[in-house]
Structure 1
Amino acid sequence: MPENASLNGCIDRIELGFVEREATPRLLMKLSIQLHLAGLSLSNTVSILEIFGVERARSTVHNWVHKADLQPEEGRCPDHVAVDETVIRLNDEQYWLYAAVDPETNELLHTKLEPTRTNVIAYSFFRELREKHDVDDAVFLVDGAKPLNDACRRHGLDFRYERHGNRNSVERVFREVKRRTTSFSNCFSKAEAETANEWLRSFAFAWNQLI
C-alpha cells in the first residue's frame, strides 16, 4: 500500500471525542497527532501547523496525542509472536519495556512499561497479551531471558529460543522507540510512567498503520 494511503487511513482512525472547545480544525489536529507519532518532533509538528496559520504550543500537541487514547487493534491471530524486553530511560530512572510483535507483519501486538523485571511482571504481560489476541496456538520466539521463558511455561504456551531470524522484528521496534525517546526527549521528560505507557500505546497504533 502506498505510504500516503497508509497515512490517510491512520488519520481516519484517530477519534477526537475528547474535544469540547478547540479552535483548531479537526483535520489539522489529526494531522498533528499522526505526524508526531510517525516521527516528527513536537517542535517540528508545531511548525507544520504554523504553515496553515495555526499557532499552538508543543504542550498542546502533546496533550492531543495523549487524550486521543490510541491503541493497536485487538483480536489478532498470529502464527508466531516475538517477545522481548529492553531498558528504557524515563527521566533519570530505568524502566523495562515489554513488547510482543507479529514477525510476519511487524505489527505491535502489545506493549507495557514496568519499573522492574520479574517473573510476576512477565506472567502478567503474557496474560494481558492473551486477553487481547488469539495467541494460544502461536509459537513464541524468545531469547534467553528467564522471566519470559518462565511465563511461557506457566501459561502453557509453545515457545522456542531464537536470538535472530524472526525476532529481528521486535528488535526493529525497540530501535525505533529508543531513537524516538533519545532524539525527542520531550516525549518522556518529566513524564509519569503511565503517561509514557500511553505514548507507547499510541506509538504502537501509528506503527501498525504505517509499516
Structure 2
Amino acid sequence: MPENARLSPSIGQFDLDFVEREATPRLLMKLSIQLHLAGLSLSNTVRLLDIFGVGRARSTVHNCVHKADLQPNSCRNPDHVAVDETVIRLNDEQYWLYAAVDPESNESLHTKLEPTRNKVIASSFFTELREKHDLNDAVFLVDGDKSLNYACQRQGLDFRYERHGNRNSVERIFREIKRRTSSFSNCFSNAYAETADQWLRSFAFAWNQLI
C-alpha cells in the first residue's frame, strides 16, 4: 500500500445486511473486513477479534469479505485511464487480471479476472469499464499488448502507448496484489476463480479508501 495508507473513517459507509445472521457484532465485523483488506492477514484479524472477546475462525472473516460484495464506486469521470493485465496464480493454474486505474487519483476503476487473454476478453473488459464510468473523453494509456490496442481501436477510443509514466499507477496495484497473494497463501489456495475475482474487487474497494 502507499506510504500514507491509513484506515479510512468510512468504515461505516458500506452495508453488511447479511451480518444480521452472523454472531459477530456488526461494527467488529466491518472492522475485521476492512483491516484484512488493508493488509492484515486472516490469522492476525482473528487475533484482533479475540482482544474484543469474540472468537471466530479465519474462514468466518474470509467468508464475510466475500459476502460483503465490495467493489470500486461507479460514475467516475477521469481524464486518463491506465489499463493493463498481469498473470495471477490460482492454485496451480494461470489466470489474467485486467485492471483500469485513474492515474491522477490512483483509484482503481475496474478489475476482472479471466482464465486467458485475447482480443474478445480485452474488448469485453473495456465494455464493462465504460458501462461503469463516464469515459467518453478519456485518453486510455496502454502498453504494447496487441489485445488491448485492438480493443481500443475496435471501440473507437482515444488511446496512446505509454510504457511507464502515468501507467505506473496500475503497476503499483499489481505489485500490492502479488505481495498479498504470495504472503497470504490462504487467499488463493483451494479457491475458485469466482472467489478470487470477488476478493480482488474487494481489495480494489479497500485500495481506493487507503490512497
TM-score (norm. length: structure 2): 0.96
1:175 match: secondary structure: helix
- The residue aligned with 1:133 is 133
CA distance in 1 between counterparts of 2:204 and 2:5 reads 17
- Report the alpha carbon displacement of residue 18 of structure 1 after superposing the two structures with TM: 1.4
Q: CA RMSD in A?
A: 1.1
Deviation at 1:70, TM superposition (A): 0.5
Deviation at 1:185, TM superposition (A): 1.0
- Match in the other structure for 2:58: 58
In structure 1, C-alpha distance between the alignment counterparts of 2:22 and 2:8, rounded to whole Å: 23
Kindly state the Cα deviation for residue 3 of structure 1 after the two structures are TM-superposed: 5.8
Q: Hey, what does 1:97 align to over in structure 2? A: 97
2:161 equivalent to 1:161: yes
Residue 173 in 1 paired to residue 193 in 2? no
Quote how far apart the aligned CAs of 1:14 are: 2.4
**Partner amino acid, structure 2, of 1:169:** S
Q: Does 1:195 align with 2:195?
A: yes
**SS at 2:44's partner residue?**
helix
- State the alpha-carbon separation in 1 of the partners of residues 51 and 20 from structure 2: 24
* Residue identity in the other structure for 1:83: V
Paired with 1:97 and 1:39, the residues of 2 have a C-alpha distance of: 20
Q: 1:81-121: per-residue Cα shift (whole Å, max 9, x none)?
A: 00000000000000000000000000000000000010000
CA distance in 2, matches of 1:47, 1:14: 23
**Partner residue, 2:43:** 43
1:201 deviates by 0.7
Is the CA contact 2:19–2:26 (under 8 Å) kept in the aligned structure 1? no
Local SS of the residue matching 2:20:
coil
CA distance in 1, matches of 2:75, 2:148: 22
**Aligned mates of 1:155, 1:43 — CA distance in 2:** 45
Moved >4 Å (runs of 4+)? none
In structure 1, how many angstroms separate the alpha carbons of the residues matched to 2:19 and 2:40?
23
Distance 1:19 1:158 in 2: 44
Q: Which residue of 2 aligns with 1:80?
A: 80
Give the Cα–Cα distance (whole angstroms) in 2 for the partners of residues 38 and 156 of structure 1: 37
- Paired amino acid for 1:109: L
Q: Return closer, same or farther for 1:114/1:52 CA change in 2, 3 Å cut-off.
A: same
Moved more, 97-106 or 22-31: 22-31
Give SS of 1:135's match.
coil
- Asked if residue 31 in structure 1 is aligned to residue 31 in structure 2, the reply is yes
Task: State, as a whole percentage, how many aligned pairs show the same letter.
Answer: 80
The amino acid of 1:40's aligned partner reads L
User: Do the aligned partners of 2:77 and 2:133 also contact (CA within 8 Å) in 1?
Assistant: yes
- State whether structure 2 residue 5 is matched by structure 1 residue 7: no
Deviation at 1:12, TM superposition (A): 1.2
State how far apart, in whole Å, the 2-side matches of 1:44 and 1:148 are: 39
Query: What secondary structure, in the 3-state scheme, does the structure 1 residue paired with 2:109 have?
Result: strand
Matching residue of 1:208: 208
TM-score, normalised to structure 1's length?
0.96
Distance in 2, matches of 1:199 and 1:188, equals 9
